[in-house]
């Protein structure tokens, strides 16, 4: 996928995971306000945070669902902000032909490529399990396919509700939904880039609630990686998933575990990689930066360790007295900077130093980091004429819809 800034171009399906933050939550939860309906200002802040986090390579379309904007033109307001507040690749609206076309036209404007000769956006197409496709989703998928823009085919079968209780039956049903979407894309335009994206979850039958972060979800993620290998297509699954309602131990444990399983399963594209709370229904800017910290840990783990002669440091070990230490050695200072990850949010201070600094827990530390990042944010450069053309398109499209 091509970004406005070529340094941010990404390839999905050639090793490593490409990550995008939350997608679709109608609520936002912040350190100061708690949980509330999300706004367009929240959406802007989340796009800015995405721009500033190296662990997120793609900006989601609906990082949150703003409630303070006309729903008929919401997609125009959101896509235009995605394309201007970040110079990373962005996700597009797939809900109907008109919204998909508008997304692609706006991408063509900012990339000065109205014919869309390259993949600039990626859409997300959801079926309606058990065995139905909404006409608008199918139309959006076909619009993306006609223009050669990649599409993630991603049903969300809920075991015990829209799918059978056993995981095997749920996986079979998801596979059928996905293969239909992939086939439709290829019939529309052979060679359309597609991503195999099952998102199986289950219902907790005790409460009738959506469960996104149990061990069965981890098995679904593993299944996705294996099916991607079987069909030889890129995959989408997993993320920083949790059913917790707030930024607490449950949120951290569930998110870290599912991110770990996602990377170990070889998943290529990870939506909901950061920021998600409450079974997809809430996004938290503080959790977004905490999830990015978790992603940094996993990146470091995947790097492994150096086995060079210099790394073994056998000469230094021989030269050091049995009762001496290595703290003052130049070798130690040099390798400490390259060998070890230094967390930005997790504390390693002594108890006294931590107390003197205000006894802040992870949630408060994350809030302070969010405030710092938003203060540091600078809008990526965009040619004024291009911005004028984009704004003109948005205003004309809004007028047509609202007339």
Cα separations in angstroms, 213 against 187, 261, 277: 35, 11, 10
**Per-residue pLDDT, 15:** 87
Burial bucket for residue 392 (CB in 10 Å: 0-12, 13-18, 19+): exposed
Q: Would you identify the CATH topology of the domain 6-302+385-397? A: TIM Barrel (3.20.20)
Q: In 104-234, which ranges are E strands? A: 121-125, 151-153, 158-159, 194-196, 201-204, 209-211
Stretches in the chain below the pLDDT threshold 50: none
Tell whether pTM > 0.95: yes
Per-residue pLDDT tens digits for 295-349 = 999 999 999 999 999 999 999 999 999 999 999 999 999 999 899 999 999 999 9
**Per-residue pLDDT, 352:** 98
The 10 Å CB-count burial string (b at 16+, else e) for 272-284 is: bbbbbbbbbbbbb
How many Å apart are CA 291 and CA 285, to the nearest integer? 10
DSSP string, 81-104: HHHHH--S-EE---SSHHHHHHHH
**Per-residue pLDDT, 115:** 98
Q: Are 106 and 77 in contact (CB under 8 A)?
A: no
Q: In 20-120, which ranges are E strands? A: 27-30, 34-37, 90-91
**Per-residue pLDDT, 238:** 94
What are the φ and ψ backbone dihedral angles of 159, each rounded to 5 degrees? -55, 140
Q: Which residues, 6+ apart, have CB-to-CB distance to 70 below 8 Å?
A: 402
């Amino acid at each position: 996928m091509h970004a406005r800034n070529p340094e941010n171009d990404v390839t999905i399906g050639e090793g490593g995971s490409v990550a995008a933050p939350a997608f679709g939550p109608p609520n936002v939860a912040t350190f100061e306000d708690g949980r509330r309906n999300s706004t367009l200002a929240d959406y802007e802040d989340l796009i800015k945070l995405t721009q500033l986090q190296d662990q997120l390579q793609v900006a989601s379309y609906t990082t949150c669902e703003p409630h303070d904007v006309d729903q008929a033109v919401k997609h125009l307001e959101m896509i235009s902000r995605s394309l201007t507040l970040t110079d990373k690749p962005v996700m597009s609206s797939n809900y109907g032909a008109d919204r998909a076309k508008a997304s692609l036209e706006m991408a063509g404007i900012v990339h000065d490529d109205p014919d869309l000769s390259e993949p600039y956006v990626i859409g997300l197409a959801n079926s309606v399990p058990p065995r139905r496709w909404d006409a608008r989703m199918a139309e959006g998928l076909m619009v993306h396919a006609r223009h050669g823009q990649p599409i993630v085919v991603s049903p969300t079968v809920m075991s015990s509700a829209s799918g059978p209780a056993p995981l095997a039956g749920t996986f079979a049903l998801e596979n059928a939904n996905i293969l239909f979407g992939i086939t439709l894309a290829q019939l529309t335009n052979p060679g359309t880039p597609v991503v195999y994206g099952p998102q199986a979850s289950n219902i907790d039958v005790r409460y009738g609630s959506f469960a996104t972060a149990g061990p069965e979800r981890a098995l679904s993620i593993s299944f996705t990686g294996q099916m991607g290998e079987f069909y030889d297509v890129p995959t989408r699954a997993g993320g920083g998933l949790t059913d917790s309602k707030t930024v607490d131990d449950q949120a951290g444990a569930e998110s870290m575990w599912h991110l770990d399983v996602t990377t170990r399963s070889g998943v290529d594209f990870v939506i909901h990689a950061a920021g998600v709370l409450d079974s997809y229904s809430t996004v938290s800017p503080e959790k977004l930066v905490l999830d990015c910290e978790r992603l940094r840990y996993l990146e470091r783990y995947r790097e492994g360790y150096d086995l060079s002669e210099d790394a073994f440091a056998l000469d230094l070990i021989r030269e050091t007295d049995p009762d001496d230490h290595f703290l003052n050695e130049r070798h130690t200072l040099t390798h400490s900077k390259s060998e070890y990850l230094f967390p930005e949010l997790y504390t390693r201070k002594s108890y006294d130093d931590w107390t003197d600094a205000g006894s802040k827990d992870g949630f408060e530390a994350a809030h302070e980091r969010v405030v710092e990042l938003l203060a540091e944010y600078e809008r990526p450069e965009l040619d004024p004429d291009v911005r004028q053309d984009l704004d003109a398109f948005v205003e004309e499209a809004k007028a047509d819809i609202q007339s």
